[in-house]
Amino acid sequence: MRKVFVISSTLVVIAVLTQFYLAGVGGFSRPATTDSWTAHRAGALAVMVAVLINIVVAALARAGGRIVAFAALPLGLVVLQFVLVALSNALGGSQDDRTGLPLYVVALHVLNGLAILGTAVTGLMNARRLAAGAVTGTPRTHAA
C-alpha cells in the first residue's frame, strides 16, 4: 500500500502542475473571456479529488498521523484558493474587471498555488521515504 501512496502522491503533484499549465492557458487566451478559465476551474476539482484519494491511501498505508495530516494540507490550501477568489469578488472585483484591492487579494491565489505545489512535492517526498522504509510512520522507542 505504501507504493500506492507514492503513486497517489505523484498524481497530486501532476494535478497541481496541470493547474499551473491551465492557469497559463486561461491567462494568455486571446480574446480573454470567462470561458478561458473553464479548464482551470475544472482542474481545481481534479486536484481536490486527487488529494482526497491521497489522504485515504496515506491512512490505509499506515503512514502515521503527521504524514497523513501533511497529505491533507493541500486540500485546505485548495479551499483557500476559492476563498481568495470569493473575497476578491466581495471587495468589488469580477472576472472581467479587477483593479485595486480586489486585484491584490486575488493575486494571492498565485502564491497560494505555489504553497499547494510545495506541500504536494513535500508530500511526495514523504511518501517515497515511507515506501523506502526510511520512515516508519510511528514514533520510535528506545530500549534502555
Asked whether residue 114 is assigned to any structural domain, the reply reads: yes
pLDDT tens per residue, range 12-50: 999 999 999 999 998 898 887 778 889 999 999 999 999
Q: pTM for this one?
A: 0.86
Asked whether residue 115 is assigned to any structural domain, the reply reads: yes
Give CA 121 to chain center in angstroms: 10
CB neighbourhood size of 45 (10 A): 11
Asked whether residue 143 is assigned to any structural domain, the reply reads: no
pLDDT tens per residue, range 73-106: 999 999 999 999 999 999 998 877 788 999 999 9
Asked whether residue 128 is assigned to any structural domain, the reply reads: yes
Asked whether residue 142 is assigned to any structural domain, the reply reads: no
**Which residues constitute the domain of residue 36?**
2-132
Number of folded domains that form the chain: 1
Asked whether residue 22 is assigned to any structural domain, the reply reads: yes
**DSSP-assigned states of every residue in 68-97:** HHHHHHHHHHHHHHHHHHHHHHHTT--SS-
Cα–Cα distance for residue pair 133/14, rounded to 1 Å:
24
